[in-house]
């Protein structure tokens, strides 16, 4: 007989009779005649109760089963007289696969998130983190589903790159050079390196995305990106996942329409498909989540320019740690004020000063601002960053010169503006930030399986 997963069993209308389950013991309680256990196999939040009669031949072992033990259970699925559960299992046989040692750290019902981060290899066995990572898996699927339905192609952009997409210089170097040799030579000779030049881990798949959008039409990348920025905040990770749609013949407004549709779709998908896990977040993590979902699904997102945002911030009586000034990047406190307090809903900010944005953003007619867009959301701040791209070769070249970019390294990028260039737009959505938004979880470390942040790579 094959094992049945607990989520399947719990959804059954009538009993199939004999079944086998395999999973991990969450709790055990002995009475005179029976031993009761709650088993979880990770397929869903809920446990199933099993009842082992003392006639079982290995009952003396069963009585001593510890929390965390892996077992296989054969028995009959029967209606449970207990409250809050439809089914339970009358055991005919228990195989103890591996008895968990007494030092198993997940004995108590509740542990702090900080403690659980120190055992990131075990935390998916708790209710909360099981829910987080089932949701994460489902949302990755939802992204592919959304784009499949819209006729987009999935592009797997390279992770090792020779270019710095964002021009931000916060990249992890990839090298095969021998540190001893480098020390002796007193320098890194990249001509001798694996690729014969400097290479890095990607900070964004955008530039590849642009090339493919100008060939396949609408594309998206969804994969890991890496940033060596030393910002030890609850919203930054050194390795995070980014979704990047890139659309040919698309302007800034259509780009925003797309972003809004995407956020609404993903939120609705989470609510529909992860009902039980989402209930855990609304009950135990953030009770105001249903209100947020209502806003995300049923209101139109705000749309204002960067200039208007600065005016709102300057006029507000709010005390900020960082001063507000035209021409500087918004800090997360400013972004949150706008989304959380002023608009009380997600808001797109557009048309930023060119000085604080990368070279590829399309120059506006004022020649001072570019067709950038960020989506700011309550509690998180920036969820999406994107733009309409500069499709005019001469304008792009001028901008690159002003910014002292090595034009020869970008010859292939510039080619796209010579051979059938077209208006196009796209953005990047931080996958972890989206998960933080819909779970109420406040630290990015708690929505990534094994977080990588400054000074920390334990697993
Ligand atoms: O705004 P960013 O830097 O935009 C880009 O990289 C563009 N090339 C995307 C594009 O147009 N195709 O990053 C996009 C999003 C941010 O809005 C944020 O949600 C997330 O990626 N993000 C991070 N998430 C976690 N940790 C970090 N260190 C992040 N940096 C950016
Ligand atoms: Mg950004």
Q: Facing residues of 353 across strands? A: 369
Size (the chain), residues:
459
What fold does the segment set 6-98 form as a domain? OB fold (Dihydrolipoamide Acetyltransferase, E2P) (2.40.50)
Tell me how far the alpha carbon of residue 175 lies from the centroid of ligand 2, in angstroms. Answer: 27
Percent of the chain with pLDDT over 90: 93
- Ligand 1 neighbour 451 (Cβ under 6 A): no
Task: Report d(CA 36, CA 356) in Å as an integer.
Answer: 62
- Ligand 1 neighbour 278 (Cβ under 6 A): no
Contact 442, 436 (CB under 8 A): yes
Looking from the CA of residue 236, the nearest atom of ligand 1 is: 26
Supply the residue whose CA is at minimum distance from atom 9 of ligand 1: 428
Tell me how far the alpha carbon of residue 374 lies from the centroid of ligand 2, in angstroms. Answer: 7
What is the model's pLDDT at position 317?
Answer: 87
- Ligand 1 neighbour 240 (Cβ under 6 A): yes
What is the model's pLDDT at position 168?
Answer: 65
Residue-wise pLDDT for 241-256, tens only, equals 999 999 999 999 999 9
Q: Among 224, 428, 442, 443, name the best residue to mutate to test ligand 1's pocket (greatest count of ligand atoms within 8 A of Cβ).
A: 428
Residue-wise pLDDT for 81-91, tens only, equals 988 889 999 99
pLDDT over 80 at 36, yes or no: yes
Number of CB atoms found within 10 A of residue 87's CB: 18
Q: Among 233, 385, 386, 436, name the best residue to mutate to test ligand 1's pocket (greatest count of ligand atoms within 8 A of Cβ).
A: 385
User: Pairing state of beta strands 18-30 and 347-353?
Assistant: unpaired
CATH number for the domain formed by residue range(s) 123-168+203-446: 3.30.930.10
Tell me how far the alpha carbon of residue 382 lies from the centroid of ligand 2, in angstroms. Answer: 7
Mean pLDDT of 396-418: 94
165 confidence band (pLDDT: 50, 70, 90): low
- What are the φ/ψ torsions at residue 370 (nearest 5 degrees)? -120, 160
Tell me how far the alpha carbon of residue 86 lies from the centroid of ligand 2, in angstroms. Answer: 48
Residues of the chain with CATH 3.30.930.10: 123-168+203-446
- Ligand 1 neighbour 432 (Cβ under 6 A): yes
Point out the ligand nearest to the CA of residue 381.
1
**To 10 degrees, the CA torsion angle through 396, 400, 405, 409?**
20
Looking from the CA of residue 428, the nearest atom of ligand 1 is: 9
- Ligand 1 neighbour 237 (Cβ under 6 A): yes
For 451, how many CA atoms within 13 A lie in the half-sphere containing its CB? 24
What is the model's pLDDT at position 9?
Answer: 97
Tell me how far the alpha carbon of residue 206 lies from the centroid of ligand 2, in angstroms. Answer: 13
- Ligand 1 neighbour 221 (Cβ under 6 A): no
- Ligand 1 neighbour 436 (Cβ under 6 A): no
Q: What angle do CA 55, 60, 62 make, to 5 degrees?
A: 85
Looking from the CA of residue 383, the nearest atom of ligand 1 is: 19
Supply the residue whose CA is at minimum distance from atom 18 of ligand 1: 430
Tell me how far the alpha carbon of residue 209 lies from the centroid of ligand 2, in angstroms. Answer: 17
pTM, rounded to two decimals: 0.97
Looking from the CA of residue 206, the nearest atom of ligand 1 is: 12
Tell me how far the alpha carbon of residue 85 lies from the centroid of ligand 2, in angstroms. Answer: 47
- Ligand 1 neighbour 380 (Cβ under 6 A): no
- Ligand 1 neighbour 382 (Cβ under 6 A): yes
Q: Among 243, 430, 433, 445, name the best residue to mutate to test ligand 1's pocket (greatest count of ligand atoms within 8 A of Cβ).
A: 430
Tokens of 316: 């507000």
Q: Whole-number mean pLDDT of the chain?
A: 96
pLDDT over 80 at 109, yes or no: no
Supply the residue whose CA is at minimum distance from atom 4 of ligand 1: 385
Residue-wise pLDDT for 301-354, tens only, equals 999 999 999 999 999 989 999 999 999 999 999 999 999 999 999 999 999 999
Number of CB atoms found within 10 A of residue 125's CB: 18
Least confident of 164-173, 222-231, 258-267, 371-380: 164-173
Residues of the chain with CATH 2.40.50.140: 6-98
Supply the residue whose CA is at minimum distance from atom 26 of ligand 1: 236
């Amino acid at each position: 007989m094959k094992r049945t997963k607990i989520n399947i069993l719990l959804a059954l209308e009538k009993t199939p009779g004999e079944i086998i389950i395999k999973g991990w013991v969450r709790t055990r309680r002995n009475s005179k005649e029976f031993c009761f256990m709650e088993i979880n196999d990770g397929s869903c939040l809920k446990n199933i109760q099993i009842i082992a009669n003392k006639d079982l031949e290995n009952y003396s072992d069963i009585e001593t089963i510890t929390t965390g033990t892996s077992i296989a259970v054969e028995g009959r699925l029967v209606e449970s007289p207990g409250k809050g559960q439809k089914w339970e299992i009358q055991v005919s046989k228990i195989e103890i696969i591996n008895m968990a040692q007494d030092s198993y750290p997940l004995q108590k019902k509740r542990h702090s998130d900080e403690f659980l981060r120190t055992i990131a290899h075990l935390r998916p066995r708790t209710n909360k983190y099981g829910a987080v990572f089932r949701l994460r898996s489902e949302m990755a699927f939802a992204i592919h589903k959304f784009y499949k339905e819209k006729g987009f192609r999935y592009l797997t952009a390279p992770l090792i790159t020779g270019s710095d997409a964002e021009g931000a210089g916060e990249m992890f170097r990839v090298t095969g050079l021998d540190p001893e040799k480098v020390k002796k030579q007193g320098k890194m000779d990249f001509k001798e390196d694996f690729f014969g030049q400097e290479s890095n881990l990607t900070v964004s798949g955008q530039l590849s995305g642009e090339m493919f959008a100008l060939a396949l039409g609408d594309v998206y990348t969804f994969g890991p990106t890496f940033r060596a920025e030393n910002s030890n905040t609850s919203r930054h990770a050194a390795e995070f996942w980014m979704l990047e749609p890139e659309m040919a013949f698309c302007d800034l407004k259509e780009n925003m329409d797309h972003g809004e549709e995407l956020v609404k779709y993903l939120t609705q998908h989470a609510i529909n498909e992860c009902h039980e896990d989402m209930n855990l977040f609304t009950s135990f993590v953030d009770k105001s989540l249903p209100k947020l979902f209502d806003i995300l699904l049923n209101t139109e997102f705000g749309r204002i320019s960067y200039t208007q945002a600065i005016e709102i911030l300057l006029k507000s009586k709010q005390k900020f740690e960082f001063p507000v000034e035209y021409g500087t990047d918004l800090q997360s406190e400013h972004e949150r004020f706008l989304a959380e307090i002023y608009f009380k809903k997600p808001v797109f900010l557009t048309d930023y000063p060119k000085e604080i944005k990368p070279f590829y953003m399309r120059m506006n007619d004022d020649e001072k601002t570019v067709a950038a867009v960020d989506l700011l959301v309550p509690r998180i701040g920036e969820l999406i960053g994107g733009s309409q791209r500069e499709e005019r070769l001469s304008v792009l070249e001028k901008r690159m010169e002003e910014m002292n970019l090595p034009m020869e390294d970008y010859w292939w990028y510039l080619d796209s503006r010579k051979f059938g260039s077209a208006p196009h737009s796209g953005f990047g959505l931080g996958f972890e930030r989206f998960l933080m938004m819909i779970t109420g979880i406040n630290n990015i470390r708690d929505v990534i399986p094994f977080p990588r942040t400054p000074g920390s790579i334990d697993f």
